[in-house]
Amino acid sequence: MKLHTIITAFLTLALTAASLAKAPSDVDATSSSASEAEALAAWQKVYEVFSHPRCANCHVPEDNIPRWSGPSYGLTQGEWLNHGINITGGESRIGAESIPCMACHQSTNAELPHAPPGAPTWRLAPVEMVWWKKSSQEICQQIKDPKRNGGRSLQEVADHIGHDALVQWGWAPGPGREPAPYSSEEVVNFLESWRVAGAPCPAPTE
């Protein structure tokens, strides 16, 4: 109980610090023509994508264990499993310490049901980009923080989402897996309209 309280306090502090940090230069506060409500609606769609199993299953915390969640694993909303075979991505986040991800995940999706999906570089997202079980507000703060988004400006984030092969895989995940919602172009557009409206983050959820 005590530990839990301390962690919460620490997290709050960290988040405050992050939001206090100088906003990235590409947040164009002057050209904000869209209302904050519209921006938040656009963000909400981005969050829908980021928290989708195709994305969140591999944006996992420092336990380095990829998750299995979503209907393709026969699981309902909120349910999840650790990746089978006791797999861990290790600190390398590519399984170099035990079984490399690429032992099974090849550069393309395997075509049999339940066979491993694939993309040119299969790996866990860097540990500072954890999205797994994070709230909309938390991911929003995170994506604006270059320390936790891979050192990117928001335009670079959008570019990453529009072009990175592993991210693109989220919309073409192979047989039996539900793709991430919308399309990558749409998500890039959502991000852009959110950015130009000042990239507001939602209130913390209880």
Partner 1 sequence: MKKKLSVNGVQHTVDVDPSTPLLWVLREQLALTGTKFGCGIAQCGACTVMIDGVPIRSCVLPLASLEGRQVMTIEGLAPSDEKLHPLQQAWIEHQVPQCGYCQSGQLMSAAALLARNPEPTDAEIDGAMQGNICRCGMYGRIRKAIKSAATSRIAQSELHTFDKTDEASDE
Partner 2 sequence: MSNWTRRAFVSVGVLAGGGILVGVAMRPGNRADNLAELVAGENETLVHAFVKIDQDNIVTAVVPHAEMGQGAQTALAQMLAEELDADWDRVRVEEAPPVAGYAHYTVGRGYLFKDLNLPDIVVPSFEGVMMRLSNSLDLQVTGGSMSVRVTGTYGMRVAGAATRDMLKRAAAKAWQVPVDEITTEKSMLIHGATSRAEPYAVFAAAAAGMTPSYSPKLKQLEEYKIIGQPVPRFDIPAKVDGTAKFALDVRLPGMVYATVKRSPVFGGRIASIDDTAARAVEGVLGVVVISASESDTFIGAFAVGEAVAVVAEGYWAAQRGLRALEIEWDGGGNETVSSNSIFAQFEQDISAAKDRKIDLEQGDFEAVFASSQKVINADYRVPHLAHTCMEPLNATAEFRDGHCEIWIGCQNPLGFRRAVADALGIRADNVTLHNMLMGGGFGRKSRADWAIQVVHLAKTVGRPVQLIWSREEDIRQDFYRPAILSRFRAAIDESGELEAWQNTYVNKLEPTEAPLIPYDVAAKDIGHIDSPIHVPWGAWRSVDHSQHCFFTESFIDEVAVAAGRDPLEYRASLLKDHPRHLAVLQKAAREAEWGQPLAQGRGRGIALQESFGSIVAEVVEVTVVDGQASVDRVVAVIDPGFAVAPDGVTAQIESGIVYGLTAALYGEITIENGSVVQSNFHDYEALRMAQTPQIETFIINSGHAAGGAGEPGTPPAAPALANAIFDATGQRLRELPFSKHLQFI
Number of residues assigned to the chain: 206
Tokens encoding 35: 């209302």
Which residue shows structure tokens 């990558």?
184
Contact partner at residue 147 from partner 1, partner 2, none, CB < 5 to 8 Å by partner kind: none
Binding residue for partner 2, selected from 20, 85, 151, 205, defined by CB under 8 A: 85
Contact partner at residue 94 from partner 2, partner 1, none, CB < 5 to 8 Å by partner kind: none
- Under rule CB under 8 A, residue 85 binds partner 1: yes
Is residue 152 within 8 Å of residue 164, measured between CB atoms?
no
- Under rule CB under 8 A, residue 120 binds partner 2: no
Identify which of residues 24 and 117 has a Cβ nearer to partner 1 in the complex: 117
- Under rule CB under 8 A, residue 129 binds partner 1: no
Helix/strand/coil for 72: helix
Identify which of residues 44 and 82 has a Cβ nearer to partner 2 in the complex: 82
- Under rule CB under 8 A, residue 86 binds partner 2: yes
- Inter-axis angle of helices 136-144 and 2-20, to 10 degrees? 40
What string of DSSP letters covers 9-28?
HHHHHHHHHHHHSPPPTT--
Residues at the contact surface with partner 2, assessed by CB under 8 A: 74, 84-86, 111-114
